[in-house]
Amino acid sequence: MRYGWLIVLAVVATTGCNQAELKKALAEAKSAEAQKDSLLTEVLETTQFVSDINSELARAKSVSVKRAGTDPGVPGAKKDREDRQASLERVKQVITRLNEAEVKLAETETRAKQSRQRNARLLAQIETFKKTVDDLRTTAEQQKTEYETALAEKDTQIATLAGRVDTLSTERSSLQSSNLALSDTVANLTSYKNTVYYAVGTRDELMKRGIVTKEGSKFLVFGGTRLEPARNLDPAAFTPIDKTQETAIPLPRTDKKYKIVSRQSPNYLGSTVTKDGKVSGTLQITQPEDFWAPSKYLILVQD
């Protein structure tokens, strides 16, 4: 009671104490009242502290809630781990504050017991707060264990996802290499299919280069010989072209005529063709696929 010191003053005055004793009694009463106020303030601070701790634990738990129904991959798993690590650090700070609060409550309890105005209600409240702090620390320690376990699992998940990423990257690189190889193969096959060869020259020139040969025999006025493509043609002796791109072959001499001795048909030419199948000027191929179908080697002999 705040007016307890007045009672002390009245008692002292009644018993006829001197003024020095009165001052001493008054000082002790004021000291006791101040101590009581200090203890009450500490208890009120503890009440606010408990409220703050409950909020901190709730906040730490809400931060670490796992996003369900999604597969965030490595970046998402790392972000989740960062959130859980932040929650763990928050809980550790809470535990530290709870330990400090426990020490402070013990000191407050000791002072309350030693107070001249021993307050049973105040001591009971301190005891209740001690129990509350102990329960909060148990909860915090449990959350700490859960977060540490979750972090260990998250590390394993991240390592597994990273391994999957490495595997997928390796498979992707392998697939890209296969695709490049396939593209090269397709390009090579296309180039091979579209590459054709032609050779133009006199009979002697072509025979010397091994491109044509004489076939048949002649005895007196019987029989005869004719020029035919050699049996084994060497592409190096010819000029290669892409049949889909080059459909006009300029002949060396415009004043000469040339006869096709290979298997191509003059029917697919746009240039002037004589009755005996000879051409001059520029060989214009109007239907490349049909023209080159019988053979990929074209041989023209100059008259």
Angle subtended by helix axes 19-63 and 120-194, to nearest 10 = 20
- The answer to whether residue 286 scores a pLDDT higher than 90 is yes
| Residue 137 near residue 100, CB atoms below 8 Å | no
Average pLDDT over residues 187-211: 91
Q: Which residues contact 241 (CB under 8 A, 6 or more apart)?
A: 195, 196, 197, 198, 249
- 223 or 110: which carries more pLDDT confidence? 110
Residue 5 in this model has a pLDDT that exceeds 50? no
- Mean pLDDT score of the chain: 75
Q: What's the predicted TM-score (pTM) here? A: 0.45
The one-character DSSP state at 195 is E
Q: What is the pLDDT of residue 32?
A: 52
- Residue 44: pLDDT over 70: no
Residue 251 pLDDT:
93
Chain-centre distance for alpha carbon 105: 52
Average pLDDT value for residue range 264-290: 89
DSSP string computed for 6-64 = HHHHHHHHHHT--HHHHHHHHHHHHHHHHHHHHHHHHHHHHHHHHHHHHHHHHHHHHHT
Grade residue 215 by pLDDT with cuts at 50, 70 and 90.
confident
Of the candidate ranges 60-74, 76-90, 153-167, 216-230, the one whose mean pLDDT is the lowest: 60-74
pLDDT > 70? residue 2: no
Task: Supply φ then ψ for residue 227, to 5 degrees.
Answer: -85, 135
Query: Which of the two residues, 51 and 22, has the higher pLDDT score?
Result: 51
For the cut 60, the answer to whether the pLDDT of residue 35 exceeds it is: no
Please state, in angstroms and as integers, the Cα–Cα distance from residue 140 to each residue in 45, 82, 220, following that order. Answer: 20, 19, 121
Higher pLDDT, 215 or 7: 215
Predicted local distance difference test score (pLDDT) of residue 216: 66
Higher local confidence (pLDDT), 6 or 101:
101
Q: Which residue has the higher pLDDT, 262 or 271?
A: 262
Q: Is the pLDDT of residue 207 over 50?
A: yes
Contact 88, 152 (CB under 8 A): no
Contact at 8 Å (CB) between 74 and 162?
Answer: yes
CB burial readout 266-281, b (16+ within 10 A) else e = eebbebeeeeeebbbe
CB atoms within 10 A of CB 87: 24
- For the cut 70, the answer to whether the pLDDT of residue 56 exceeds it is no
Which tokens hold the place of 258?
A: 């040339």
